[in-house]
Amino acid sequence: MIQTKLTDMLGTRYPVIQAGMGPWNTDKLCVAAANAGALGMISTVGIGYLWTRPEEGTPATPYDFLRSIIARVGDATKEKQGIFGCNIPLAIEFKEQVEGMIKATGDARNEDPDLKERLKVIITSAGNPTPWTEAIKETGCYWFHVAPSVYHALKAEKAGADVIIASGREGGGHVAFEPIHTMVLLPQVINAVKVPVVGAGGFADGSSLVAALSLGAIGIQMGTRFIATKESDFHDLWKNKVVETSEMDSMVGISIFGPARYLKNDVAVRLHELFKGGFEQGYEEGVMLETKGIALSIEGGDPAWSIYFGGEAAGRIDSIISVQELLEGIEEQAEATIRDLQLNLGA
């Protein structure tokens, strides 16, 4: 068993975070990850914009909708005492929804003693953390903030984040405008801040977990690898796309909150072309294509024009397995990698 400051802090078995990947549902994936011993995360972008449809009878406000999802995830993880949290982007366009969803997370904890022990984390990204310090701290959750640069990491630390997630540009989904990749970014952030750091972007297996730990991280966050699992909420077309994709077949294009990395298909190529032509100039068409592509990906529509977020790590993913198998395999490979290192170093 590999224990780190992250597992000690959260009470998880594995130093692994299942990334929030909105606007798609990750409710089932969150349950599977939490029950298997990782930190499971509920994605909230779709909840905030109501792209994710509430069940019949659920009040259609982001606050009430998230409360209902937290309740369901809480019930489904209660037996195994799974640890989970909520991923909330802080984009200025999302301000009203952010307020409601932070409050929903805090209220759920405060009204249920069991959830107070297990709903432990809010992960924020895609926006300025400073205005949200008081609201997040009031929830009682640990606050993790995703940072694509040393500048953003220092800003999050100053705002009061408990953990920085240093996210390199090879990761899937939303990425920075500047192409700073994990092998450079992660040690720089670790050296710059005093709070613990988690690595994100390019992590998919046990050997990459060991790489992150050797650089000084306390764990890893994975998105693309969790998509290609049996329990994930994503359509089979997307899961198979991850398995079929090489390390060369992802590209950065326009997205609603900034640039994002997509698995290559016709819509990804067009979003990439628009991005190269200038973010502001291509934004309107890009968001239109992304919005349509999101709907297609949820429905399992035309694979050429469906939006498939995904990172370069897809090139190392060749199977669709259960979350339990994934995490057990990561632990086994990580332990073997450490043993091999000791042998190679003559320890």
Q: Are residues 26 and 91 part of one domain?
A: yes
> Which tens digits make up the pLDDT trace of 253-283?
999 888 999 999 999 999 999 999 999 999 9
What's 138's domain CATH number? 3.20.20.70
Q: Are residues 267 and 120 part of one domain?
A: no
Distance CA 67, CA 73 (A): 10
More confident site: 333 or 59? 333
In the chain, the largest separation of any two C-alpha atoms, in whole Å, equals 64
**Which pLDDT belongs to residue 25?**
85
Per the domain annotation, does 284 fall within a domain? Answer: yes
Helices within the chain (DSSP H only): 5-10, 27-36, 45-48, 62-77, 95-111, 113-118, 133-139, 150-159, 182-192, 206-214, 224-227, 236-244, 266-277, 279-299, 323-344
Distance CA 23, CA 28 (A): 14
Q: Are residues 147 and 18 part of one domain?
A: yes
**Which pLDDT belongs to residue 59?**
56
Q: Are residues 128 and 55 part of one domain?
A: yes
Per the domain annotation, does 45 fall within a domain? Answer: yes
Q: Are residues 168 and 38 part of one domain?
A: yes
> What does DSSP say about strands 16-18 and 220-222: parallel, antiparallel, or unpaired?
parallel
Q: Are residues 227 and 149 part of one domain?
A: yes
Domain that holds residue 26: 13-234+317-344
* Chain centre distance of CA 68: 21
For the chain, the domain total comes to: 2
Q: Work out the angle at residue 158's Cα, subtended by the Cα atoms of residues 157 and 160, and round it to the nearest 5 degrees.
A: 65
**Which pLDDT belongs to residue 48?**
56
CA-to-CA separations, 75 to 68, 79, 150, in angstroms, rounded? 11, 8, 38
More confident site: 8 or 178? 8
Per the domain annotation, does 312 fall within a domain? Answer: no
> At 55, is the pLDDT very low, low, confident or very high (cuts 50, 70, 90)?
low
**Which pLDDT belongs to residue 219?**
98
Distance CA 182, CA 180 (A): 7
Q: Are residues 220 and 91 part of one domain?
A: yes
Peptide bond into 54 cis (omega under 30): no
Distance CA 295, CA 200 (A): 27
Q: Are residues 60 and 192 part of one domain?
A: yes
Q: Are residues 286 and 179 part of one domain?
A: no
* Chain centre distance of CA 310: 11
Of 125, 295, 62, 241, the C-alpha closest to 287 is 295
Task: Give the percent of the chain with pLDDT over 70.
Answer: 95
Distance CA 271, CA 287 (A): 9
> Which tens digits make up the pLDDT trace of 94-109?
788 888 999 999 999 9
> Which tens digits make up the pLDDT trace of 151-201?
999 999 999 999 999 999 999 998 988 889 999 999 999 999 999 999 999
Residues facing 123 on adjacent strands: 87, 144
Q: Are residues 271 and 124 part of one domain?
A: no
> At 343, is the pLDDT very low, low, confident or very high (cuts 50, 70, 90)?
confident
Distance CA 241, CA 51 (A): 23
How confident is the model over 291-316, as a mean pLDDT? 93
Per the domain annotation, does 168 fall within a domain? Answer: yes
Residues 153/124, Cβ–Cβ less than 8 Å: no
Q: Are residues 229 and 182 part of one domain?
A: yes
**Which pLDDT belongs to residue 193?**
98
Q: Are residues 244 and 221 part of one domain?
A: no
3-state secondary structure of 235: coil
**Which pLDDT belongs to residue 89?**
87
Per the domain annotation, does 1 fall within a domain? Answer: no
